[in-house]
Structure 1
Amino acid sequence: MPDHSLLTVVVLLAAAVLTVAAARKVRLPPIISYLLMGMLLGPHALALVPDEERMRHLAEFGVVFLMFSIGLEFSLAQFIRMRRLVFGLGSAQVVLTAITFLGVALLIPLSWRTGVVLGGILAMSSTAMVVRALADRLETQSRHGRIAISILLFQDLAVIPLLILIPALAGSPRELPHDLAIAGAKAVLALLLLVVIGRPLVSPWFEWVAARKSNELFMLNLLLVTLGLAWITEAAGLSLALGAFIAGMLLAETAYRYQVEADIASFRDILLGLFFVTIGMMVDVPVLIEYLPWVLLVLVLIFFLKGGLVWIICRVTGFENGVALRSAVVLAQAGEFGFVLISLASQKNLLPPGVLQPVLGAMLLSMLFAPVLVQYNGAIARLLAPGYRNRRQQDLEEVRQQDLREHVIICGYGRVGQSIARVLEDEGVPYLALDLDPTRVRQAQAAGETIFYGDASRRDLLEAAGIGHARAIVITYGNVQETARVLAVAKELRPQIPSVVRAHDDSQMAALEAAGADEVIPEVTEGALMLASQTLLQIGFPLSTVLRRVRRFRQERYSLFRGNFWGGSAPGEDQESPRLYSIALGETAYALGRRLGDLELEKRGVQVAAVRRFGIRGREPSPETRLRRGDVLVLFGSPESLTDSERFVLHGEQEEKDAKGVEAV
C-alpha cells in the first residue's frame, strides 16, 4: 500500500495554518483550534488523518517539551516566597477536587480507579490560557491573580505524581500498593541521581558546547539532553515527561536558561499542537451527541463544583468574598495537562468510551468558555458579591479624595515611573500614580507618595484619577498592547490630553502613535544615542559635531523635534529659509494669561506649531488655549517674522513700537 505520511503532514499543516489564523482572529487560544482541527480531520469525522499509532508517538514529544518548559520555569526561590499560596491553596485545591470527583464517580457508579483518574484529570486548569488572559488584563499581580497562578503552579507539579499513578492503576488491584511503591521509589531515585550527578555536570557541559560557537551544535546538544533524560526515566518504567521535567529543572539555574527557552519554543509549540490534534481525534462526535446530557452534566460540575471548591478554600483561608469569587471563576475550566492525563489513561484502558467521550466533550466546552469567564471575572464577582462592589467603590473614592488639579497621571510606578515622579516633584508638579503591584503601592504609600492600586485601563479609575483636568498622562508600561489599551480609554475620556508613552525601541513608535500617543520615547534608541555620542567624543569628534548629530537623530524620530530648528552659524544653511523657533514665556511676557487666538500670530506671518508645558507638547493647540508662565511657543516662519513675533509675544504692541522706533533712529 502507498505511504500517505507526507500527504497527512501537508493536510495537518494546511489545516493548522487556517484554524490557528481563525483562532487569532477571534482571540481564542491556539489550543482550541488544534482540538477542533483534530475533531474535524480525525477518524470519527472527515477521516482525512488516520488515527495512526506512529502519529501518537510523535505527538508525545510535544508533552516532553511542554514538561521541559515547565521544568525551566521551576524556581526554588519563587516557591519558597509563595509557599503559603502554592503549597497551601494549591495542594488543597488539587486534593479536594480529586476526592470530590472520585465521590461523584462512585455515585454514578464507576470503578474507584476510574474515579481516581477522573479526579486527577478534572483537578487541572489551563495554565497557558489563564496566565495569558490575566497578563492581557494586567491582573497577574492582583490578589485573585496571585491566587490563581499559585494554584496553577501546584497543579503543574501535581502532574508528576499523577503520571506515575495512572500506569500503576492499570495493573492488578492486588499489586497496586507494590506497583505504587516501586514507581515512587524509582521516581525518587531517578530524581536524586539526576540532580546529584547531573547538576554538577550540566553547566560545564553546556559551557563547553557553547564555547564551540555553533548554533546547530547547541541545538543538537539541547535535544540530546532533553530526550536523553526522558529516555532514562522511561527505561526506568516511568514517563518520558518526568525526565523532560528534570532536564528543564537542571537547566533552570544555569546561565543558558533563556537561550534554551528561546531555542526550544518552536519545537514545543509545533509538537504540542500536534499532541492536541491527536486529542481532538479521540472525540467521536456522534457518540458525543448521544451522550450530550452527560457532557452538560460534567460541564456543570467543572464550572460549579470545581469553582465552588476554589471559592470555599479561599474563604476558609481568609480572603474576602469578591476575591474568592474571582479566583473561582478564573480557575473553573479544564486544562492542557488534563488532556495529557486523559490520553495516558485512555492508552491504559482506564476510561471506558461511555466515560471518555462525555469528559472530553465537557473539557473542550469548558476551555471554549474560559476566555469569556476570565475576561469578565470582575463583573461576575461584583454581580454575585455586592459587598465586593462596595469595596471597589471605596478604592475609587480614595483616589477621588485626592482632588488634584493640573496634575500628571503616571500609569506604572516601576523604576521609570518613579524617576518621572521625582522630576515632577522637584519641579513642583503634582502627580498621581497607578500601579498593579500591591507591595510596591503599599511601600510607596507608606513613604507618603501619591500612588494607588488600580488598573489604568479602567474608565472609572481614570475618571477618579482626575483625567478631566490633568495636564498629561504618562504610560511607562513595557508592553505595547497594555499601553494601547490605556491610551484608548484615556483618549476616549479626554481626546486632547497630552500623552507620553514608553517604548522598548523605535520599532514600536508607529504602533503607539497610531494608538493615540503624542510622544513615544524608545528607551533602547535613547540609550544607543547616548552611547554613540559618547563614543564620538572619546575618539576625538568635536562637541558641536556630536550635538548636531544628536539633534538630527531626534528630529527624525520624535514629533517634538520634527521640523528644523536652525542654528546661527552653521555653514551651508540658507539663513532666510523658514524654520522652527521656540519662545519661552517668562514672568513678564506680554502673552501671559491671553488666549492663543487673541494674539493673531498668523497675521505676522508665523504659524503656531505647538505649545509645550512642562516638557509635554500639545499638537495643533486650540485658539482657546490660555498661555501660562513657563509655556514654550514653537513657531514656524521666516527669520524676520519670527523676530517680529517674539517681540510681540514678550513685550506687546507698545514696546514693539518703541523698539522699532529706536531701530529707526
Structure 2
Amino acid sequence: MTDSIDITAYSDALVVLGTAGVVVPVMRRLGLHPILGYLAAGAALGPLGLGTLKDSVPLLWWLTVVEPKGVAAIADLGVVFLLFLIGLELSFARLATMRKLVFGLGMAQVVASAAAIGAVVAVLGVDAKATAVIGACLALSSTAMVVETLSGEKRIATAGGRTAFAVLLAQDLSVVPIFLLISALAGEGGSVLGGLAAALGQAAVALAVIAVAGRLLLRPLFRLVATLRSPELFMAAILFVIVGTGVVAARAGVSMGLGAFVAGVLLAETEYRKAIQSIIEPFKGLLLGVFFFSVGMGVDPGEILREPLQLAATVAALVVGKGLVAAALARLFGVGTATAAEAGMMLGPAGEFAFVGIGVAVTAGVVGAGTAAFVLTAAALSMALVPPLVAASTRAERWFAPVEPPDAPPSPPQPAGGHTLVVGHGRVGRVVCSLLAAHGRPHLVVDSDALAVARDRLAGHDVHYGDAATPAFLISCGIADAAAVVVTVHEPAVIDAVVGWVRVLAPEVPVFARARDGAHARHLYGVGVTDAVPETVEASLQLSETVLVGLGVPMGPVIASIHDKRDEFRRDLREAARRRTDPPPPPPAAGGRDAAA
C-alpha cells in the first residue's frame, strides 16, 4: 500500500499548504498583501530557488517543490474559480454596457502594447520571431492578481475597476490568436488567417453552447439539488458546473477561466448566487494562493543576482510604458482622466500568460532559453508590484480630479447607506419587504426553501436562496455593511443561530426578530436582538385597538394608549431578560432552515 503512494505529490502539497498556513498570518501581521508572501515563498521554495540544492541537502527535498508541473495544474484552478466568482457579480446587462471597453479599448490595448514592447525588444537585438512572441505575451496583464486585489478592496465595481476588468476580458479573448501566432512562427504549417478564423469560430460556438445550455439547465439543476437540502450535493453541483464549463471552453481553445466566467454570469441572474458565493469563496482563496505560489516559482534568484540593474530597468520600463499606453488609449475611448490613470496603473505589470506563452515558445524553439529566463523573471517581478500599484491607484482620483473653487457650495449630505437583510420571505417577510420598498429602503431578502424561492421569483420578488444561519452565507450577503437585520422566520433554533452569527460578525448591526410570545421575546432579548415583536402581544394590541375604536373612542387617544402599552410590554420583557442568569447559547457550527411561515 505504501509503495503505491506518490510521496512526491504529497511532499509538494505539504510545502504549498504549509506556506498558505504561515504566509497569510505573517503578511497580515506585517501589514503587507498576502500575494507578495506567496510570490516570495514560491521563489524561495521553487525549483529555481532552494530546490536547486535538494540533491546535495536531502532535507530540502521535503521543504521545496520537487514537481512544479503538478503544482501548476492545481494553481490554474484558482484563476478558474476567481473568474467564476467575478461572473457571479456581473450580468449580461452589465456586460452589454462594457462591450465598447472590451472590444474597443481592450483589443486596442493588446495590439498597441504588443507593438510597443516588440519594438523595444527588437532594438535590443532579439530576433524577429522571439520579438513577436515576447511582445504579445507581455502585453497581457495579470487577471488573477488585479481582480483578486480589487475584490479584496471592494473596488471591482468602481469606474477604474470596471475599465481594468474590461481590458482583462479582452486579453483573455486574445489568448487564442497569440497561441496561433506562436504555432505559425514555429513553422507548424497552415494559413495563419485561416487557422485564426477557425479557432475563433470554434471558441464562439463553445461559448454559445455554454450560454444556451446554462440558460436552459443551470436553474433547474440547482433547484433540484437545493430541494434535497444537502450541502455536499450543492457543493458538488457547483464544482461540476465550474470545472465542466472550463473543460468545454478549454477543448475549444479558449481559457478555462473564460468558460467558468460565462457560467458565473449565467448564475448571477438566479436566486442561487449568494449561496454559491458563500460556498466557493474558501476554495478560491486557497487555490489562488497556490497560483501565486506557482508564479513565484518562475522567479530565478540567480538571474536577479546576475543582472539586477538590467532587471530593475526592464521591470520599470514595462510597468511604466505599458501603463501609459493603456491610460492614453482609455482617454481616446472617452474614459475620464482619473479613471484612465487608475486603470493604467493596474494594467502595467505583466500577467500569468507570459509563463504559458513563452514556455510554449521555448519548447517550439521560437524563444531561446536564456532570453526566456530573463523575460520571465522580469515578468514575475513586475507582477509582485500589482498589489501596491492597485492600492496606489486609489490616489489617481485625487491627483486628477478637478479642484472646486473656494466659493463652491458644500456637497449635500449623503443618506446613510447599507441594506436591510430580511431573513425569510413567508407571510411576515413579504409584508416587511413591501413596506421597506414603499419607503425606498434597499433590502436583500433570503430564504432556505428552494421551491418557495422559485415561486417567489416567478411572481416577481427578488429573493435569494441560502441558509442565513451559516456565517459564510451572511458574509456573502454583506452583513458587515448592513443597516439592519430582520428575522421573520418562526423556528426558534434558526432565529437563535442567525442572531448569534450576526452578533459575531457584525456586533453593531441592529437585529429585529419575530417572536412567538412574550416568553420567546424575553429569550431573544437575552441572546442579543435589538427588538423582538411577539405575535401574541401584537395580536392582543390590535384586538384592543379594534374594540376601542368600535366603542367610539377617538382614534388619536387609542393609538397613543396602544403605543404606551407596547412600550410597557417591551420594557418588562427587556428587564426580565436582563435578570436572567443563564448565558446566551453560542452560535451553532451549522445552520438550519430559514423559511418563514
* Structure-2-length-normalised TM-score: 0.63
Return the index of the structure with the highest Cα Rg: 1
Alpha carbons of 1:53 and 1:125: their partners in 2 closer, same or farther (altered >3 Å)? closer
Q: Which residue of 2 aligns with 1:7?
A: 11
Deviation at 1:119, TM superposition (A): 3.5
List per-residue Cα deviations over 1:485-505 (Å, max 9, x = no partner).
xxxxxxxxxxxxxxxxxxx95
The one-letter code matched in structure 1 to 2:532 is A
Alpha carbons of 1:205 and 1:348: their partners in 2 closer, same or farther (altered >3 Å)? farther
Q: Which residue of 1 aligns with 2:304?
A: 288
Alpha carbons of 1:63 and 1:321: their partners in 2 closer, same or farther (altered >3 Å)? closer
Distance 1:263 1:372 in 2: 29
Distance 1:135 1:221 in 2: 24
Q: Which residue of 2 aligns with 1:218?
A: 234
Paired residue for 2:271, among 239, 255, 266? Answer: 255
Distance 1:39 1:192 in 2: 40
Q: How does 1:434-583 map to 2 (within 5 A)?
A: 506-507=503-504, 522-525=509-512, 532-533=532-533, 535-538=535-538, 540=540, 547-548=567-568, 550-551=570-571
Alpha carbons of 1:249 and 1:176: their partners in 2 closer, same or farther (altered >3 Å)? farther
Q: Which residue of 2 aligns with 1:631?
A: none
Distance 1:95 1:205 in 2: 41
Q: Which residue of 2 aligns with 1:29?
A: 33
The one-letter code matched in structure 1 to 2:535 is T
Alpha carbons of 1:58 and 1:313: their partners in 2 closer, same or farther (altered >3 Å)? closer
Deviation at 1:146, TM superposition (A): 0.9
The answer (yes or no) to whether the contact 1:90–1:152 under 8 Å persists in 2 is no
Q: How does 1:52-91 map to 2 (within 5 A)?
A: 52-91=68-107
List per-residue Cα deviations over 1:571-630 (Å, max 9, x = no partner).
xxxxxxxxxxxxxxxxxxxxxxxxxxxxxxxxxxxxxxxxxxxxxxxxxxxxxxxxxxxx
Distance 1:220 1:271 in 2: 17
The answer (yes or no) to whether the contact 2:138–2:354 under 8 Å persists in 1 is yes
The answer (yes or no) to whether the contact 1:127–1:335 under 8 Å persists in 2 is yes
Paired residue for 1:155, among 168, 173, 187? Answer: 168
Paired residue for 2:134, among 98, 118, 139? Answer: 118
1:354 aligns with 2:367: no
Deviation at 1:286, TM superposition (A): 0.7
Distance 1:245 1:216 in 2: 23
The one-letter code matched in structure 2 to 1:212 is L
Distance 2:68 2:347 in 1: 34
List per-residue Cα deviations over 1:84-130 (Å, max 9, x = no partner).
44444333333321222232233334355544443444334455655
The one-letter code matched in structure 2 to 1:20 is V
Distance 1:295 1:288 in 2: 7
The one-letter code matched in structure 1 to 2:114 is A
Q: CA RMSD in A?
A: 4.2
**Structure 1: unaligned runs, 5 residues or longer:** 403-408, 418-477, 484-503, 511-519, 558-562, 565-665
1:105 aligns with 2:105: no
Q: How does 1:327-366 map to 2 (within 5 A)?
A: 327-335=343-351, 351-366=367-382
Alpha carbons of 1:280 and 1:330: their partners in 2 closer, same or farther (altered >3 Å)? closer
Q: Which residue of 2 aligns with 1:312?
A: 328
The answer (yes or no) to whether the contact 1:292–1:358 under 8 Å persists in 2 is no
Distance 2:207 2:29 in 1: 43
* Structure-1-length-normalised TM-score: 0.58
The one-letter code matched in structure 2 to 1:175 is G
Query: Which deviates the most, 27-36 or 164-173?
Result: 164-173
Distance 1:330 1:524 in 2: 40
- Which structure carries more relative contact order (alpha carbon 8 Å, separation 6+)? 2
The answer (yes or no) to whether the contact 1:29–1:129 under 8 Å persists in 2 is no
1:195 aligns with 2:211: yes
The answer (yes or no) to whether the contact 2:20–2:286 under 8 Å persists in 1 is no
Distance 1:206 1:416 in 2: 26
| Number of aligned residue pairs | 453
Q: Which residue of 2 aligns with 1:18?
A: 22
Alpha carbons of 1:179 and 1:10: their partners in 2 closer, same or farther (altered >3 Å)? same
Alpha carbons of 1:168 and 1:249: their partners in 2 closer, same or farther (altered >3 Å)? farther
Distance 2:83 2:506 in 1: 37
1:43 aligns with 2:56: no
1:172 aligns with 2:184: no
The answer (yes or no) to whether the contact 1:102–1:116 under 8 Å persists in 2 is yes
The answer (yes or no) to whether the contact 2:79–2:257 under 8 Å persists in 1 is yes
**Structure 2: unaligned runs, 5 residues or longer:** 52-63, 421-477, 484-500, 516-528, 545-561, 580-597
Alpha carbons of 1:166 and 1:481: their partners in 2 closer, same or farther (altered >3 Å)? same
The answer (yes or no) to whether the contact 1:38–1:278 under 8 Å persists in 2 is yes
The one-letter code matched in structure 2 to 1:359 is V
